[in-house]
Amino acid sequence: MKNHNYEALQEELEKQPNILITTHRGPDGDAMGSSLALYQVLKAQGYEVSVVVPNSYAKFLNWLPCNEDVLEFEGNEEKAQALIDAAELIFCLDFNDLRRTDMMCEALESASAKYVMIDHHQEPSDFADFIFSVPIVCSTAQLIYEFIDQMGWKELLTLDIAKCIYTGLVTDTGSFRFSSVDTRTHEIAANLIDLGLEQADIHQKLFDNNKESRLKLLGYCLSEKLEVLPEYHTAVMSLNREELDRFNFVKGDTEGFVNYALSIDGVVFTAFFVKYDDKVKISFRSLNDFRANLLSKKYFDGGGHINAAGGIFEGSLEDAIAKFKEVLPEYKNELLANC
């Protein structure tokens, strides 16, 4: 069993390998917080280390310490490829299948480096040489904290690193509200606050940064595009390209929209469809034991967690929604049981 083999990884790290840290496409708060926390710890340990992410991420994460050191693969392919080629150890954070890196997948597959996976998604694939996978844990950031602790690096924690870890905890737990939060999550948050972290400041940076156009897009989405399907305790929302353009959409603007529909009394499952260039990106959220990830995996080439999953559909927005409505009856009993 390779999982959680700290000793073997210690041995590998003793060789002073050149290190690269990466995460999934469309990095979220957990992905960026975890990557930049680990980056700073490894740098403090004297390693040659870089962070390369597949593509751009939401602006509300740009304040993270060391954000300026992150290289986006998309648009910087040559430079990124050189870093991948030079890497001897690649940390894969917040994903468990190389395909989740999308445009960066091929480059990673051809790398000669050893892989370390630190992740909290279900059913890890077996591409990594060192695996630290705990699907019941709320965030990769929590696993990064444990990892730092287990490696004996806790004295390297700084306020800047604390900000990164805290960001991962907050963003992947809906601000500490999901059932995946455990006593350890709060204990870690407390330890981070002991390092001087001002949590009100972090929450403000993450959530009180709306542009007027984003708030208006949300208002439009809720008032004009929300459809509740009472029979299935499900709500559906969608946005097409024209609607996104009308509200000057930029990446990250629709983040969190899917959760609003879940707050409707009697709704235990929501799906949010957004049309990008040639694909429809779908976000699923659920309450209780309804396994959003299984539906996504079966019908939308996706996956994720029980209560928060995502997928894609190749085709029109209308066809994606029609397919969703077509498969809902299969889940009727399960949806009812989770009300």
Q: Residue 200, CB half-sphere, CA atoms under 13 Å: how many?
A: 0
- Nearer to Mn ion by Cβ, of 29 and 65: the residue is 29
Task: Return the number of other C-beta atoms located less than 10 Å from residue 237's C-beta.
Answer: 22
Question: How many residues of this chain bind Mn ion (CB under 5 A)?
Answer: 4
Assess 121 for contact with ligand 5GP (CB under 6 A): yes
Assess 65 for contact with ligand 5GP (CB under 6 A): no
Assess 304 for contact with ligand 5GP (CB under 6 A): yes
Length of the chain: 339
Assess 311 for contact with ligand 5GP (CB under 6 A): yes
Question: 13, 60, 4, 6: which is closest to 32 by C-alpha?
Answer: 60
Q: Of 46-54, 60-68, 228-236, 298-306, which segment contacts ligand 5GP by CB under 6 A?
A: 298-306
Q: Which residues inside 27-46 make contact with Mn ion, applying CB under 5 A?
A: 30
CB of 57 to ligand 5GP, least distance (A): 12
CB of 25 to ligand 5GP, least distance (A): 8
What is the rounded (10 degree) CA torsion for 72, 59, 275, 254?
A: 150
Distances (CA, A) of 26 to 72, 74, 137: 11, 11, 21
Assess 168 for contact with ligand 5GP (CB under 6 A): no
Q: Of 154-162, 177-185, 193-201, 310-318, which segment contacts ligand 5GP by CB under 6 A?
A: 310-318
- Nearer to Mn ion by Cβ, of 83 and 165: the residue is 165
- Nearer to ligand 5GP by Cβ, of 15 and 177: the residue is 177
DSSP class of 174: T
Question: 144, 132, 85, 73: which is closest to 109 by C-alpha?
Answer: 85
Assess 119 for contact with Mn ion (CB under 5 A): no
Integer Cα distance of 41 and 36 in angstroms: 9
Q: Please pick, from the candidates 97, 172, 243, 253, the single residue that binds Mn ion as defined by CB under 5 A.
A: 172
Task: Return the number of other C-beta atoms located less than 10 Å from residue 199's C-beta.
Answer: 13
Question: How many residues of this chain bind ligand 5GP (CB under 6 A)?
Answer: 11
65 binds, among ligand 5GP, Mn ion, none (CB under 5 to 8 A by kind): none
CB 30 within 8 A of CB 141: yes
Q: Of 9-17, 105-113, 238-246, 297-305, which segment contacts ligand 5GP by CB under 6 A?
A: 297-305
145, two tokens: 């904290």
Assess 312 for contact with ligand 5GP (CB under 6 A): yes
Assess 72 for contact with Mn ion (CB under 5 A): no
What is the rounded (10 degree) CA torsion for 221, 223, 227, 233?
A: 100
Assess 103 for contact with ligand 5GP (CB under 6 A): no
Q: Please pick, from the candidates 27, 29, 54, 302, the single residue that binds ligand 5GP as defined by CB under 6 A.
A: 302
Integer Cα distance of 262 and 277 in angstroms: 27
Integer Cα distance of 106 and 289 in angstroms: 35
Which residue is associated with the tokens 């960026």? 32
Applying CB under 5 A, the residues found at the interface with Mn ion are 30, 94, 140, 172
Applying CB under 6 A, the residues found at the interface with ligand 5GP are 121, 283, 302-305, 308-312
